[in-house]
Amino acid sequence: MPEIWELTASRIATEVRAKRLSAVDVTEAHLDQLARVNPAINAVVQEFPDEALDTARQVDAALARGEDPGPLSGVPVTIKVNVDQKGHATTNGLRLQAALVATEDSPVVANIRKAGGIIVGRTNTPALSLRWFTKNDLHGQTLNPRNREITPGGSSGGAAAAVAAGICAIAHGTDIAGSIRYPAYACGLHGLRPTPGRVPAYNSSGPDRFIGAQLMAVSGPIARSIQDLDIALTAISAPDVRDPWYVPVAAGSADFPKRAALALAPDGMDVTEDVRAALLDGADRLRDAGWTVEEVDCPPMRRAAAVNACLWMAEMQFGASELLAREGEADSQFVFARMSEEAGQVGFRSLMEALQMRAGLVRQWELFLRDYPVVLCPVSGELPFDQQLDVSSEAAFSRVFEAQLTQRAIPAIGVPALSVATGGANGRPVGVQLIGPRFREDILLAAGRDIEKAGSPIGVSDPNRS
């Protein structure tokens, strides 16, 4: 049998329910792994082993009473430090928020607890969750357990690094411009960005966010198997009345045509040969599983990315620019300046026009996805970047920004997307991205399973040896 910390979440939940493993045994194994490997990668930045073990004992007690704790029975999970967990600081990578201790759980944390999950730590993010790299002045830099020379991704870089290193089986992440999908890609994992409204969100520790984040920001899971993403989504999407945007839509189960559109270079974006090869391989895997895959042009990505930039920068310029200035963290200030330059100064007219454009783009994409329920496209135009590439120069930032076109575009059109790991190239992980219709995460997971089955299982990487 593999080490306990190498098991998938689905296997752990099965073994714990059958009482072949106790939740305490599972938690202790993952806490031991955290202690062994986390100093090498700095993925988890808030630890509370006694609290985790107490929760595990409660799960075992529920099972002893003949109760089912839920789909995450005994599964070790990490939480990103930008959502509220009662008794812990919601730092979002900021020194200014080091003492911002939450007094209640956010919906996603509450749902994980209700599903029997064991929270073993909280994971790192760049300051204000602003970058595709994970480093800040409060918690330091997170390294990629697969390859320390490359980014673990961002902003959920600590989350992905924790899963890849066996610290947890499932990690919580958030995504407004790729912050789930890109870290999963960079760490050789799978990551699901759900439809906005699928997973309830709310932080009582701060004011409600502005319209950009309300429309585009989501919480979602990162894991080493597609089945784990499925059970995680079931858990975290339970209703919570605190989120006015929550949509009580049942998990999709209707039949759908197994037809996919292959978009090798959406809107003419530059794509490296390694990324192109991964897309062609993904298309072949789908065809072998009975899908019809056609190479076609997908609806606009660049206009959607422009909407994302306008809505996100309106939020940043209105509410966060002063916070970044007070924080004084050089990397985030550099990135914010470059992103503001790309978006321009956002005023009332440009914001209204962006919202108007968004309606047309959503319509265009939904009509396209009616004919092609899956779009297969790049996660990024390049293999995972070298550490700190984005802040090395203005030219390097522009290169990163262009490569992340699909990361930026998809949140603006309100559809779910799935990053699927497919292997490696030149010592770096590689994968593909799947896009589907609103609230049809089931279609993406079905396609993801077919791609996954044609490859090798994802293993844990020991950062002490990499």
The catalytic residue positions are 80, 155, 179
Q: How far apart are CA 131 and CA 141, in angstroms?
A: 12
Per DSSP, the three-state class of 30 is: helix
CB atoms within 10 A of CB 352: 11
Q: 10 Å Cβ neighbour count for 290?
A: 8
Q: Residues 139, 104: contact at Cβ < 8 Å? A: no
Rounded to an integer, what distance in angstroms lies between the CA atom of residue 170 and that of residue 78?
7
Residue 94's nearest CA partner among 345, 356, 320 is 320
259 membership: H or E segment, kind and range: strand 259-262
Q: By the 8 A CB rule, do 170 and 9 touch?
A: yes
What is the spatial distance between Cα 385 and Cα 408, in angstroms, rounded to a whole number?
Answer: 17
Rounded Cα distance between 104 and 204, Å, is: 7
Cα–Cα dist 108/410, whole Å: 22
Which amino acid would we find at residue 388? Answer: Q
What letter represents residue 104's amino acid? E
CA 57 to chain CA centroid, nearest Å: 29
